[in-house]
Amino acid sequence: MLRETLEMNIKRILDFLIYSKNFLIRKNPLRVLKESVVEGIKDFLTMKKKLKMAQYRLNYHRHQFNKMEQLIAENNQHSFLKGNNLNETR
């Protein structure tokens, strides 16, 4: 009785270890952790460059918007709209 219980518990422990080993081989959490840390470091180091690119795009679109607003104001017959506000009726 005791021997059967002991053999069954040892078998369960071995099965658990085999399943654990196969899970670690399949999912490999250490590799995933390493890749996420490396990706986070890359993002942190390139943050300044990404910020400058976003500021450049924002300034470019702001310039295009101001240019378009100025063209609309120049072609508008109402003098009170000259360059102040975007003529929304066009």
Contact 76, 61 (CB under 8 A): no
Q: How far is CA 26 from the centre of its chain?
A: 26
Q: How many domains does the chain have?
A: 2
- Identify whether residues 52 and 86 lie together within a single domain: yes
pLDDT at 78: 60
Tell me the whole-structure pTM to 2 decimals.
0.50
- Identify whether residues 56 and 88 lie together within a single domain: yes
pLDDT band at 85 (very low <50, low <70, confident <90, very high): low
For 69, other C-beta atoms within 10 Å of its C-beta total 16
pLDDT band at 70 (very low <50, low <70, confident <90, very high): confident
- Identify whether residues 52 and 41 lie together within a single domain: no
